[in-house]
Chain A
Amino acid sequence: MTGRARRRIAILAGLAPAAVVLLALFVGPLVVALAHSLGHAPIYRVTEFPTLRYYAAILASSRFRVSLAYTFYYAIVPTLLSTIVGTLLALAMRRPVRGSRLLVFFFRLPVVVPYLVGAGMVVALFANGGLLARALFALDLIESTGDFPRILFSSGGWGIMLAYLFKQIPFTFVIVSSALAAEDVELEQVARTLGASPLRALWHVIVPRTIPAIISASLLVFAFNFQTYEIPYLLGATFPNTVPVEALRVFNLIDVRRRPEAMAYLIVITLFSGVVMFLYLRAYRKWERSKGRV
């Protein structure tokens, strides 16, 4: 029995430091946000705990609903695009050819820089006075900066999504590539000897085995897009914009008594993000099970 006790102590001692750090720094802030949103914020003289007033208020406000819709829109479109394009890129670069090491090195560069680098590039290229507008002018396609389509600071959000894609297509590429690299070439060769064309061997043998990687890449991309602040703040419209931007705006209002409302925004978006990811993972598991792979 002492062996078992020693084992238990070893497990607890090993996990303790990380658990303490994450409990204090991750669970703690969430509890604070939750308490505030439920009306327990003595520092702002808000002491109506427990109340769902703030939740009711934001759920009733059209401003919140619009923001939520845009949050989903800005999150899902780049997730779809980066998953498809990044996977295709990984498949296209599956075979090492001359120079592919260098190519891969550069493709990884956007992954390791802050998202703000992408934002800076999008501004330089796609602003109304940016390089693309100048190129179109030089080609006599537009006559003034006003003719250039509004890509930045508009609710269409193309600037936001371009900045996401700048980092997320390469990110998906890296994740899927490494899953492909782990695959045995001989598996594919077996498929070829069994009469599969190169494309069919790829589709039936290699792609199914990289799906877990594709799923996890797209989950990470979605999770990021759903919650980010700086990109929509810099490249989006003042309104409508995403829930995180809206939450920080409310939080920074002069009237600090509205801060619990900001906290309600945060809790709601946390729940939404969790639910979406849960449903996504569940659908994926179900699909795997229907194939009999789990």
Chain B
Amino acid sequence: MRQELHGMPDRPSAAARVFVILMFAAFVAPFVPLVVASFSFRWHWPDLLPTRWLWNVRDETPFPVGWDYLLSPVSRLGSAFANTVAIGLVVAALALMTGVPAAYVLARYDFRAKGVAEFFLLLPIIVPQVSIGIGMLLLFMRVGLFRTYPGIVLAHLVPALPYAIRILTAMFQNLDPGYEEVARTLGADRLARLRHVTLPLIAAGLATAGLFAFLISTNIFLLTFLISGGRIATLPTMLFSHIGSGGPLDATTAGLVLIVSVPGLLFLFIADRITGSGLSLATAPAGSRAKEDR
């Protein structure tokens, strides 16, 4: 990185360090009591730590509790997890399939309605999801998509696709058209160019866009909640019903919060491997780069 080459003399000030540490505590420390709570069995007011733990009571309770409950088939956590991942994967695939051609056009062509198209793509991010969700619910009831997996997948596409298109557009803008021109002068036909030049060059961008679509899908609550009609559970809808019914330091809810964070954690690991940068989560650059063509 550039910063390391031209080392600036000024290090962060003491105040900045304290601030960073405080923030770190505020955003990471809350995971600690959740881990403790998830292993607790009895944690009465006003104890600072549980008095009985999961492993103390395994043989005494007639049915599994805490993690044992969550990981047993009774909790249906497994199916919610599988639903979340499967829906996320399908959403990612569909977002790429429909997003790549659109992004290519937006990045490479100048046309009169381009501003309109770009504004239209922003709308799903701006318009409240409840507004879309309830209308969609009524629409889906009519066409038989209510309470179905395809219905949920389609609902998730609404927020996921615009984000994917933004990332993909930036990717195509950063891809120098010169590479394809060179390949043409070297005798590569359309298919060969796609296979040997374009695809390898955009692979990382495709993966990033797909990963984002996956992440957005796994985080959606309301649209799933409305379209599933309570029949298909994902991790967020499952967590929603547990928070709504449990007490403050309920072991099952705490465990569930941790489980629900797993897809995001996976996202971070994979995203870092793809881009190799510490800030890969940053969304696509807002301003589009000037084209160098001609």
Contact = CB atoms under 8 A, between A and B. Distances in A.
A is bound by B: yes
**Looking at chain B, what size class is its interface with the partner chain?**
35 or more
Interface in A81-111: 85, 88-89, 91-97, 100-101, 103-111
A37 to B, nearest CB: 10
Given A21-B98, A96-B1, A114-B221, A36 B20 contact: no
B133 A29 contact: yes
A110 B265 CA distance: 9
B278 A29 contact: no
B132 A29 contact: yes
B111 A11 contact: yes
Contacts of A18: 98-99, 101-102, 121, 161, 165
A120 B254 contact: yes
Interface stretch (A51-59, A60-68, A173-181, A283-291): A173-181
Interface in B83-116: 94, 97-99, 101-102, 104-106, 109, 111
A68 to B, nearest CB: 13
Interface in A2-20: 7-8, 10-11, 13-19
Interface in B52-111: 94, 97-99, 101-102, 104-106, 109, 111
A207 interface: no
B27 A266 contact: no
B129 to A, nearest CB: 6
Contact of A36 (B111, B138, B243, B261): B138
A262 interface: yes
B6 interface: yes
A124 B109 contact: no
A72 interface: no
B120 interface: yes
B289 to A, nearest CB: 11
B135 A30 contact: yes
Interface string A206-250: 000000110010001001001111100010000000001001100
Given A22-B120, A109-B264, A198-B10, A32 B135 contact: yes
Given A116-B243, A223-B126, A29 B261 contact: no
Contacts of A189: 6, 8
A10 B157 contact: no
Dominant SS at the B interface?
A: helix
A9 to B, nearest CB: 11
Nearest to A248: B130
B36 to A, nearest CB: 9
A259 to B, nearest CB: 9
A169 interface: yes
Interface string A166-197: 10011000110111011011101100000000
B97 A95 contact: no
A274 B126 contact: yes
A90 B6 CA distance: 20
B265 A32 contact: no
Contacts of B158: 22, 25-26
A230 B278 contact: no
Given A10-B105, A109-B28, A124-B34, A104 B132 contact: no
B24 A22 contact: no
B206 interface: no
Contacts of A107: 23-24, 27
Contacts of B177: none
B197 interface: no
A266 B97 contact: no
Nearest to A94: B12
Nearest to A118: B30
Contacts of A269: 128, 130-131
Contacts of A93: 12, 16, 20
A120 B253 CA distance: 7
A96 B4 contact: yes
Contacts of A19: 102, 117, 120
Central interface residue in B132, B162, B253, B272, by most chain A CB within 10 Å: B132
A169 B101 contact: no
B239 interface: yes
14 contacts: A17-B101, A25-B158, A95-B11, A106-B28, A107-B27, A117-B239, A120-B243, A124-B34, A130-B249, A228-B222, A229-B221, A234-B243, A244-B130, A273-B126
The 7 closest A-B pairs by CB, nearest first: A29-B135, A178-B282, A227-B128, A112-B264, A14-B105, A127-B248, A120-B257
Interface of A: 7-8, 10-11, 13-19, 21-22, 25-26, 28-33, 36, 43, 85, 88-89, 91-97, 100-101, 103-117, 119-121, 123-125, 127-131, 133-135, 137-138, 145, 166, 169-170, 174-175, 177-179, 181-182, 184-186, 188-189, 198, 212-213, 216, 220, 223, 226-230, 234, 244, 247-248, 251, 262-263, 266-267, 269-270, 273-274, 277
Interface of B: 1-4, 6, 8, 10-12, 16-17, 19-20, 23-24, 27-28, 30-31, 33-34, 37, 45-48, 94, 97-99, 101-102, 104-106, 109, 111, 117, 120-121, 123-136, 138-139, 154-155, 157-158, 161-162, 165, 215, 218-222, 225, 235-236, 239-240, 243-244, 247-249, 253-254, 256-257, 260-261, 263-265, 267-268, 272, 278-279, 281-283, 285-287
